[in-house]
Structure 1
Amino acid sequence: MKEVEGDLIQMALEGHFDVIVHGCNCQCQMGKGIALSIKKLFPEAYEADLATEKGSREKLGSYSSANVSQLDASFTIVNAYTQFHWRGKGVKADYEAIQSVFVQIKNDFPGKRIGYPLIGAGLAGGDWDVISSIINKELKGENHTLVKFLS
């Protein structure tokens, strides 16, 4: 896993990534964090989320996606269903769902430049050491980059 500091969305718009992945809940909210920014900037990604069944546990470990083009960049946004809900205290990240979705990402986007934030370790409260080891294992051999946001 490569690590850089910056703004994942801006880097995608500058052509650094073919695919960006962010964690979503299964409630079709996209109401906080990077998901909210994606919802506002790329309505087609939110529309892909809304096309899934709200509140379905079956979504955990899967994803919806949208191909976007803005400025001179084209890339795919992956809404990775890595947590069921967002309410309450405690860890909301689902490690099995994270593993499942990254298996699918490797299968569906081989050879692509993949960028992602600290999926599951921010608002979802997951342990980044656990999550990063899952991502490294499942994306082994792929060009993938963690983008740590500078606030």
Structure 2
Amino acid sequence: MKTIQYIKGDATVPQTKGIKIIAHICNDIGGWGKGFVLAVSKRWEAPEKEYRNWHRFRSKNNFALGEIQIIQVEKYIYVANMIGQKGIKTGSNGVPVRYEAIEKCLETLSNEALSLNASIHMPRIGCGLAGGKWTEIEPIIERTLLNKNVEVFIYDFE
């Protein structure tokens, strides 16, 4: 089984050869404006545009917790918008992160990565504004991606 490779740097600038998918967590209310999505939008406009359209037309598509959207942004780079967060605020229902939704997203992402022969690049998903714990996310990555022999790179921004 592969292991997570940790890299210091920017996940929007993947540091490997070949086809790459940059994965990140989105909320289920159509909000895009804080956290890692700002770095994504700074490099490419398509992921935000596609996410907003996905949300806008949600009555006619699969926009929901646990679903993903893959957008090609360069010849060898894709972005995966993954809905793994319920709302945006911590409140009576706890933190926004939804581990079961992230697991479903990563399960789907593993199939996409295998079909594209791509590696996965991401920040510590679900652990920023979503309020999740890496000790919960890391085993999900192991079960969904590493067990299928998908290469995973986690970026810690300096």
TM bucket by the smaller chain? 0.7 to 0.9
Which consecutive segments of 4 or more residues in structure 1 shift more than 6 A? none
Change (3 A) 1:135 1:41: same
**How many residue pairs align between the two structures?**
146
What RMSD over aligned residues (CA atoms) do the two structures have, in Å? 2.2
| Structure 2 unaligned spans of 5+ | none
| Structure 1 unaligned spans of 5+ | none
Distance 1:74 1:17 in 2: 5
TM score, norm. by length of structure 1: 0.86
Distance 1:26 1:17 in 2: 28
SS at match of 1:126: coil
Structure 1 letter corresponding to 2:72: N
1:89-119 deviations in whole A, cap 9, x for unaligned?
A: 4421100001000000011111311111110
How far the C-alpha of 1:58 sits from its partner, in A, is 5.3
Change (3 A) 1:17 1:115: farther
TM score, norm. by length of structure 2: 0.83
How far the C-alpha of 1:144 sits from its partner, in A, is 0.9
Identity %: 26
How far the C-alpha of 1:68 sits from its partner, in A, is 0.7
Distance 2:20 2:103 in 1: 21
Q: 1:124-135 maps to which residues of 2 (within 5 A)? A: 124-135=130-141
How far the C-alpha of 1:136 sits from its partner, in A, is 1.1
1:50-77 deviations in whole A, cap 9, x for unaligned?
A: 12235x69510111221012xxx63000
